[in-house]
């Protein structure tokens, strides 16, 4: 976010049209059901209120699959991708730092934490879409109803590269999701709650997002949001990309999972293995 975490990356491969992609650093941070895109330089949202672990599953457009694990406790998140050298990352949301571990080399790389698996929570106060965004100005227009849900309506003016973009957003008062998003460039998104369902042993909300650049038919993304965990445990994207948390276990985690081993050496970006 630009951290390219393999578990924490939503890749709209061939999905979003040119204009949406051009403004995605600002727009998609708000459009996504969860704030998980690796380009969004936002304040880290609070992790889940409960400690848990889960297996992670990803499937790419070509059918390739990746398995891994995630561990969450307090302000810490650890992700592991099963690979020959075991890809391990630790995120400290309080400090705003991430740590890429290289177990085979006994080394680690420290980088600013600029992404989050978790949804910003309006419980601590109304979400201002301009918070932390340079070049953006927000005007609160009031509370209205979108698809039967209370939403705060905002006028947003964004200046990028000497160009001004005018945006209207409706932010869900309960979840903090952007229910509707319209720009003067023709981009449009709509987010709707399809219902409450069971996914495995979890009680979740199923949401559908439709996104269009105003010139092509809308594309659709499905998310299964777990209110207890405060994140989506399954997402399906255009082009066949799928990611999911499976076998969620609510339990306290070993604190050592979130500590860099004492014999690890800190390295710079230049020293990191090629391809990382």
Identify the pLDDT of residue 122. Answer: 67
What pLDDT digit, counting tens, does each position of 97-128 carry? 999 999 888 999 999 875 555 666 666 568 88
Distance of alpha carbon 66 from its chain centroid, rounded? 18
What pLDDT digit, counting tens, does each position of 140-155 carry? 999 999 989 999 999 9
Determine the Cα–Cα distance for residues 255 and 45; give it in Å rounded to an integer: 21
Name the stretches of the chain with pLDDT < 50.
Answer: 1-45
Reduced DSSP (H G I as helix, E B as strand, rest coil) percent helix, strand, coil of the chain, to 5: 10, 45, 45
Determine the Cα–Cα distance for residues 64 and 238; give it in Å rounded to an integer: 15
Identify the pLDDT of residue 36. Answer: 31
């Amino acid at each position: 976010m630009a951290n390219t975490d393999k578990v924490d990356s939503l890749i709209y491969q061939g999905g979003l049209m040119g204009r949406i992609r051009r403004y995605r650093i600002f727009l998609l941070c708000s459009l996504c059901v969860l704030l998980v895109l690796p380009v969004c330089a936002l304040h880290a949202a609070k992790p889940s209120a409960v400690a848990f672990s889960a297996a992670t599953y990803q499937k790419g457009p070509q059918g390739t699959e990746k398995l891994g694990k995630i561990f969450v406790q307090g302000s810490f998140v650890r992700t592991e991708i099963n690979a020959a050298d075991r890809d391990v990352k630790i995120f400290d949301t309080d400090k705003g730092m991430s740590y890429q571990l290289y177990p085979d080399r006994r080394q680690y790389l420290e980088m600013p934490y600029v992404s989050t698996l978790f949804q910003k929570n309006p419980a601590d106060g109304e979400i201002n879409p301009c918070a932390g965004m340079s070049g953006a100005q927000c005007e609160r227009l009031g509370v209205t109803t979108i698809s039967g849900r209370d939403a705060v309506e905002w006028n947003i003016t964004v200046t990028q590269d000497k160009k001004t973009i005018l945006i209207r957003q409706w932010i869900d008062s309960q979840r903090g999701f952007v229910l509707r998003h319209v720009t003067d460039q023709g981009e449009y998104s709509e987010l709707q709650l399809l219902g409450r369902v069971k996914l495995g042993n979890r009680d979740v909300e199923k949401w559908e997002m439709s996104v269009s650049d105003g010139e092509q038919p809308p594309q659709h993304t499905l998310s299964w949001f777990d209110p207890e965990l405060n994140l989506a445990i399954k997402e399906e994207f255009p082009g066949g990309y799928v990611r999911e948390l499976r076998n969620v276990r609510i339990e306290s985690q070993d604190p050592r999972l979130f500590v860099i081993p004492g014999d690890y050496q800190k390295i710079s970006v230049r020293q990191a293995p090629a391809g990382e």
